[in-house]
Structure 1
Amino acid sequence: MFHTEHYTESKAQNYELVIRQLQALLEGESDRIANLSNSSALLNQFLDDINWVGFYVYRDGELVLGPFQGLPACVRIPLNRGVCGKAAAERTTVRVANVHEFPGHIACDAASQSEIVIPIVKDGELVGVLDIDSPLLDRFDEEDQHYLEKFVARLNLHL
């Protein structure tokens, strides 16, 4: 089964380890809710300086709250609204250094200062988004983006 290891190496090595841990968690499981749940829990224990991590699932033309770790969140987000809606509509990662400067930001948690949202697209269809918030300004850099996109790509193999 899955064993937590300590993340004591470089940032890149730690991300590679968490992606291997994700693979071990998802191996042989095809239930989408179970896999999204374990993925959000894994990221929550791995990432420092975050206050929310989870998924919004694309359903009937909007994003609907899925498995997450953190405070209660907005349940439904229209496409093109907020950071999640923009990432979903454009099917591209959106990294925001200061959410208060993002037009139309949806403030579910007033403590959030920065955010990254990675779209999940499978066979050309939008599945949803991975959303991560931080109470720090400019928490997420290009390296975080690169590895979180790899994390989502690995997860996507099991959705």
Structure 2
Amino acid sequence: MHSTAEISACYANLLVQARALFAGESDLIANAANLAALVFGGLPGLNWAGLYRFDGAQLLLGPFQGRPACARIALGRGVCGSAAMERRTQMIADVHAFPGHIACDAASRSEIVVPLIDADGRLLGVWDVDSPLHARFGEADRIGMEALCAALVEAARSGAGA
């Protein structure tokens, strides 16, 4: 496994790249597509990375990298629905032990989901990353993913009212 310093440096590099990709683009879907490709290709041990956007009632599948996924997720259902409803990052070491886990890909063992909340407190969606490795995500991943998500939301905010 990599050291916390190596993981943090990897996320710092991803954040620089993400901000460069987002520069001048405020569309959440376009930026999420680039972020999914960046994260999926830039972090080891992943089998899925992508966006579920909130339509006001449920989470709908957005841009992602990985195997086909569930198209719709109710708030409070599974790790993604729990992150959306609770509005807090969920970091699950063993998804099979998570009550109500939705198994889109049976190979997934661990998951991190970050809610995307705008400056007005509105839920935009969730950022979901899965791994076939048990306990793949640690505190450095949480900090790094939350920073990437903050940049994604900030880029979307920069286009508000434009």
Tell me, in whole angstroms, the C-alpha distance in 2 between the residues paired with 1:15 and 1:110. 27
Letter in 2 for 1:126: L
Question: Aligned partner of 1:158: which letter?
Answer: A
Kindly report structure 1 stretches of 4+ aligned residues shifted beyond 4 Å.
none
Q: What residue number does 1:104 align with?
A: 100
Q: CA deviation at 1:158?
A: 1.1
Q: Deviations over 1:14-35 (max 9, x none)?
A: 1111100000000001222211
Distance in 2 between the 1:14 and 1:113 partners?
Answer: 22
Q: Cα offset for 1:95?
A: 0.5
Q: CA offset at residue 51 of structure 1? A: 0.3
User: Match for residue 136 of structure 1?
Assistant: 133
Moved more, 31-40 or 103-112: 31-40
Match of 2:159 in 1: none
Q: What is the TM-score of this pair, normalised by structure 2?
A: 0.91
Q: Contact (CA 8 Å) 2:28, 2:152: kept in 1 or not? A: no
Distance in 2 (CA, whole Å) between partners of 1:49 and 1:10 is 15
Hey, what does 1:157 align to over in structure 2? Answer: 154
Question: What is the CA RMSD across the aligned residues, in angstroms?
Answer: 0.9
Q: 2:21 aligns with which of 22, 25, 31?
A: 25
Aligned residues: 151
**What is the TM-score normalised by the length of structure 1?**
0.93
Instruction: Quote the offset at 1:13 in angstroms.
Output: 1.3
Matched, 1:65 2:75: no
Structure 2 unmatched ranges of 5 or more: 157-162
**DSSP-derived class of the 1:12 partner:** helix
Asked whether the 8 Å contact 2:59–2:75 carries over to 1, the reply is yes
Unaligned runs of 5+ in 1: 1-8
The one-letter code of the counterpart of 1:54 is G
Matches of 2:86 and 2:56, distance apart in 1: 17
